[in-house]
Structures are given as C-alpha cells and as structure tokens.
Amino acid sequence: MTDTELHYFLRSSFASLHERLDHIDRRLDELIQRIGRLEQEIAGLHVDFAGLSVRLDRHDERLNRIERDSIWARPTDPVE
C-alpha cells in the first residue's frame, strides 16, 4: 500500500468514525433532553402526591372530629 492509498484509507476511515460519533452525540443529546422532561414530570407527581396526602389528612381529621362529637357516639364504659 502506497502512502497515497494509506492516506485515502485513513481519511475515509476517520470520516466514517467522525460520522458515527456525531450520530452518537445527537442521540445522547436527545436522551439527556428526554431524561430532563421525565425528571420534571416526576417532580410534578411528587407535588401532586404531597397535595393529596394533605387532603387525606384533613379528611381524616374531620372524620375523627365528627365521630368524637357525634350525638350517636357510644359512651365509653367507666373504668372500674
């Protein structure tokens, strides 16, 4: 193989590698963007879950208050 042939071979090989690396780089950028969107969605779910937990706690407190103050509540037996 002459120097010129070697030069063209190496040039085409490096061009092919450069093309593949560019493709990998684009895919990596796409994946990073998708992960960022997923993280945002998960953060939103955490906020929603916290809000629902607060609402459930408030409902539980209301039910306890209703049961405690209800006229139909059973009187407790005196301790003997």
Place of tokens 């407190």: 61
Question: Mean pLDDT across the stretch 64-73?
Answer: 82
Question: Which regions of 8-49 does DSSP assign to beta strands (E)?
Answer: none
Are 9 and 1 spatial neighbours (Cβ–Cβ below 8 Å)?
Answer: yes
Domain ranges of the chain: 1-69
Angstrom distance (rounded) from CA 41 to CA 48:
11
Going by pLDDT thresholds of 50, 70 and 90, the confidence category of residue 71 is confident
pLDDT of residue 34: 98
Task: Name which residue leads in pLDDT, 35 or 68.
Answer: 35
- Distance (Å, whole) CA 11 – CA 65: 81
pLDDT band of residue 51 (cuts 50, 70, 90) is very high
DSSP secondary structure letter of residue 72: T
The overall pTM is greater than 0.75: no
**Which pLDDT belongs to residue 77?**
56
